[in-house]
């Protein structure tokens, strides 16, 4: 049983005990989105995964500085040298100012992150806000002889770097194979080797996002911003760097190389990679045209969906899988998650009203120990949830008088569950489908009529009301204490 936090480090491919560089402070950097379109569900999974990490670190008492960037420049469309900047292209196509694109999708991103109840990062820097710093680091790398200028652009010299350092240490790539596999450069290329990547790109006359630099008008390379902003806000060395699995190569590999080329240090102590959300076994991505937008999922307005799901149901669904495993998305899986989530929340909502006894059959401290052990084991949220359902089972047993709980244990359980479910897992009660007094008033009248019909054994009226409401997706639930309703 793990009594201290262990993290799977994708650099060493081992689970390692977490020891912050500067306890109790923890530096956490996560690669944020490129804001050229709406965030899709797969993106959200990564950020929810690292939200769990952030929340648990705070639960453990660490003083976390969470930095997550917004990529608003420099991210090229295709090959890291050929294509157009994604934001620039969108701006050109839609005839908008690039910063309009950035603003629109940054707002969308923030809205969705709020829907999913993720904690905002402490610092959210943008690439365009750090052009000066990016130019500075390029100068340093040039001075260190690990980059070269070519026709107004600056490229990182991977081959030179690989003479003293291990390019490929994170992704497990063999540098020689990398060179031999991509040898055939056409004569036009500005780069010395195909593996070299851009630190600064010369802007063509049509390129709208452009800045002045010692090498002429241009824009920064994509990989640079993360090196620069993590160093600026977390220092040359910091604790955890996270991102999606698909950023491992080349993005994170390049980041490592840039940092080492600039200051000789491997910045990151623990590399963490969140795995992909798949649909029918395939990675959800825009290019495969199988991605789903959060709003489509919330409303159910998508050809692949039978109905809409509350953001908390989606979050719960994601937390039922380990962050480092792929998670397959389907209607069935979501419906299962919805039922499970409701069961968990129902259990939580009756804790405070539980009858108490002198003695107690359950011990909150035992649950706490198991649940913390699960989280300590590389943030094993599925295991945590499994333990929580054990707790729910006990809560229900107490409610039905088959088990006992003491007053002090009840208090402890109530506090603990809120900590784990709300603060660490970041769940909250799902929004009532209809949370307004007008609707409640109407429904009370209707259910009151039905209750009176039932009292008179007028089953025809009673069932007609129930059936008609069901046709409107309103489910009537009868219990000993009267009828309640829910929009399905």
Partner RNA sequence: GGUCUCGUGGCCGAGCGGCUAGGCACUGGUCUGCAAAACCAGCUACAGCGGUUCGAAUCCGCUCGAGACCUCCA
- Residue reference for tokens 């010369």: 202
Q: Which of 186, 188, 480, 481 binds RNA (CB under 7 A)?
A: 480
- Nearer CB in complex with RNA: 193/364: 193
Q: Binding segment for RNA among 95-103, 183-191, 335-343, 404-412 (CB under 7 A)?
A: 335-343
- Site residues (CB under 7 A) for RNA, limited to 211-270: 222, 243-251
Question: CA dist 47 to 112, 121, 397, Å?
Answer: 11, 10, 36
- Nearer CB in complex with RNA: 20/34: 34
Region of 430 (left: φ > 0; alpha: ψ -120 to 50; beta: rest) is: beta
Q: Binding segment for RNA among 40-48, 91-99, 133-141, 207-215 (CB under 7 A)?
A: 40-48
Cα–Cα nearest to 196, from 169, 217, 174, 178: 178
- Nearer CB in complex with RNA: 20/50: 50
- Residue reference for tokens 């009532």: 432
Most distant CA pair in the chain: distance in Å? 91
Instruction: Specify the DSSP class assigned to residue 5.
Output: -
| Three-class secondary structure of residue 483 per DSSP | strand
Q: Binding segment for RNA among 35-43, 54-62, 127-135, 356-364 (CB under 7 A)?
A: 35-43
| Three-class secondary structure of residue 129 per DSSP | helix
Sign of torsion over alpha carbons 71, 77, 79, 84? negative
Q: Binding segment for RNA among 53-61, 201-209, 379-387, 423-431 (CB under 7 A)?
A: 379-387
Q: Which of 88, 106, 231, 320 binds RNA (CB under 7 A)?
A: 320
The verdict on whether omega for the bond into residue 145 sits within 30 degrees of 0, i.e. cis, is no
The verdict on whether omega for the bond into residue 14 sits within 30 degrees of 0, i.e. cis, is no
The least CB distance from residue 27 to RNA, in Å, is 19
- Nearer CB in complex with RNA: 46/230: 46
Residue 153, H or E segment: strand 153-156
Q: Which of 146, 229, 276, 371 binds RNA (CB under 7 A)?
A: 276
The least CB distance from residue 13 to RNA, in Å, is 7
Question: CA dist 399 to 368, 386, 393, Å?
Answer: 21, 20, 10
Q: Binding segment for RNA among 60-68, 113-121, 262-270, 332-340 (CB under 7 A)?
A: 332-340
- Nearer CB in complex with RNA: 140/278: 278
Q: Which of 5, 7, 26, 31 binds RNA (CB under 7 A)?
A: 31
- Nearer CB in complex with RNA: 20/469: 469
For residues 383 and 363, what is the distance between their CA atoms, to the nearest angstrom? 19
- Nearer CB in complex with RNA: 63/286: 286
The least CB distance from residue 63 to RNA, in Å, is 25
The least CB distance from residue 265 to RNA, in Å, is 23
Instruction: Specify the DSSP class assigned to residue 64.
Output: E
- Site residues (CB under 7 A) for RNA, limited to 419-478: 454, 459, 462-463, 466, 475-478
Chain-centre distance for alpha carbon 369:
26
- Site residues (CB under 7 A) for RNA, limited to 84-113: 86
Binding of residue 376 to RNA (CB under 7 A): no
Residue 380: HSE in the Cβ half-sphere, 13 Å Cα cutoff: 19
- Nearer CB in complex with RNA: 20/371: 371
- Site residues (CB under 7 A) for RNA, limited to 112-151: none
Residue-by-residue DSSP string for 6-21: EEEETTTTEEEE---T
Q: How would you list the strands of the sheet with 25-30, edge to edge?
A: 63-68, 25-30, 238-244, 268-274
Q: Binding segment for RNA among 154-162, 185-193, 306-314, 394-402 (CB under 7 A)?
A: 394-402
Query: What number of other Cβ atoms are within 10 A of residue 384's Cβ?
Result: 24
Cα–Cα nearest to 161, from 73, 77, 254: 254
- Site residues (CB under 7 A) for RNA, limited to 154-183: 171-174, 177-178, 181-182
- Nearer CB in complex with RNA: 342/414: 342
Q: Which of 4, 204, 389, 448 binds RNA (CB under 7 A)?
A: 389
The least CB distance from residue 177 to RNA, in Å, is 5
Q: Binding segment for RNA among 21-29, 183-191, 255-263, 328-336 (CB under 7 A)?
A: 328-336
> For residues 41 and 286, is the Cβ–Cβ distance under 8 A?
no
> For residues 425 and 52, is the Cβ–Cβ distance under 8 A?
yes
The least CB distance from residue 158 to RNA, in Å, is 12
The least CB distance from residue 435 to RNA, in Å, is 19
For residues 96 and 49, what is the distance between their CA atoms, to the nearest angstrom? 33
- Site residues (CB under 7 A) for RNA, limited to 278-307: 278, 281-287, 291
- Site residues (CB under 7 A) for RNA, limited to 41-70: 42-43, 45-46
| Pairing outcome for strands 482-487 and 474-479 | antiparallel
User: Alpha-carbon dihedral of residues 387, 352, 440, 456, nearest 10 degrees?
Assistant: 100
The least CB distance from residue 402 to RNA, in Å, is 7
Binding of residue 370 to RNA (CB under 7 A): no
- Nearer CB in complex with RNA: 17/23: 17
């Amino acid at each position: 049983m793990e009594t201290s936090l262990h993290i799977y480090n994708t650099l060493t491919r081992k689970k390692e005990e977490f020891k912050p560089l500067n306890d109790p402070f923890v530096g956490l950097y996560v690669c944020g989105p490129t804001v050229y379109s709406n965030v899709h569900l797969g993106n959200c999974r990564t950020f929810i995964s690292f939200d769990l990490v952030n929340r648990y670190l705070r639960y453990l008492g660490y003083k976390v500085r969470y930095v997550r960037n917004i990529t608003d420049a420099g991210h090229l469309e295709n090959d890291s040298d050929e294509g157009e900047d994604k934001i620039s292209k969108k701006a050109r196509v839609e005839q908008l100012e690039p910063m309009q694109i950035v603003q629109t999708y940054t707002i969308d991103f923030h809205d969705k992150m709020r829907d999913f109840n993720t904690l905002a990062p402490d610092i959210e820097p943008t690439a365009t806000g750090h052009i000066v710093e990016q130019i500075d680091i390029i100068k340093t790398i040039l001075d260190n002889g690990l980059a070269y200028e070519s026709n107004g652009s600056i490229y990182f010299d991977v081959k030179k770097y690989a003479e003293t350092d291990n390019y490929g240490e994170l992704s497990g790539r063999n540098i020689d194979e990398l060179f031999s596999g991509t040898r055939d450069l056409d004569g036009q290329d500005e780069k010395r080797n195909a593996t070299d990547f851009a630190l600064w790109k010369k802007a063509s006359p049509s390129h709208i996002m452009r800045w002045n630099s010692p090498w002429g008008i241009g824009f920064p390379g994509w990989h640079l911003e993360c090196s620069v902003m993590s160093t600026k806000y977390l220092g040359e060395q910091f604790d955890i760097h996270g991102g999606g699995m698909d950023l491992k190569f080349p993005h994170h590999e390049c980041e490592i190389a840039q940092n080492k080329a600039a200051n000789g240090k491997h910045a990151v102590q623990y590399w963490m990679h969140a795995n992909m959300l798949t649909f029918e076994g395939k990675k959800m991505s825009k290019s495969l045209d199988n991605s789903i937008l959060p709003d489509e999922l919330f409303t159910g307005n998508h050809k692949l969906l039978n109905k809409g799901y509350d953001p908390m149901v989606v979050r719960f669904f994601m937390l039922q899988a380990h962050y480092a495993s792929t998670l397959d998305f389907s209607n069935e899986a979501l419906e299962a998650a919805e039922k499970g989530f409701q069961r968990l929340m129902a259990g939580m909502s009756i804790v405070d009203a539980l009858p108490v006894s002198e003695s107690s059959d359950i011990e909150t401290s035992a649950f706490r120990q198991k649940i913390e052990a699960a989280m300590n084991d590389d943030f094993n949220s599925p295991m945590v949830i499994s333990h929580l359902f054990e707790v729910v089972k006990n809560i229900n047993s107490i409610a039905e008088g088959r088990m006992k709980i003491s007053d002090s244990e009840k208090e402890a359980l109530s506090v603990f569950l809120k900590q784990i479910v709300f603060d660490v897992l970041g769940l909250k009660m799902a929004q009532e489908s209809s949370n307004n007094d007008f609707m409640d008033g109407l429904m009370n009248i209707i259910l009151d009529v039905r209750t009176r019909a039932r009292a008179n054994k007028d089953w025809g009226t009673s069932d007609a009301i129930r059936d008609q409401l069901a046709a409107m997706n309103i489910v009537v639930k009868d219990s000993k204490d009267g009828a309640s309703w829910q929009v399905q």
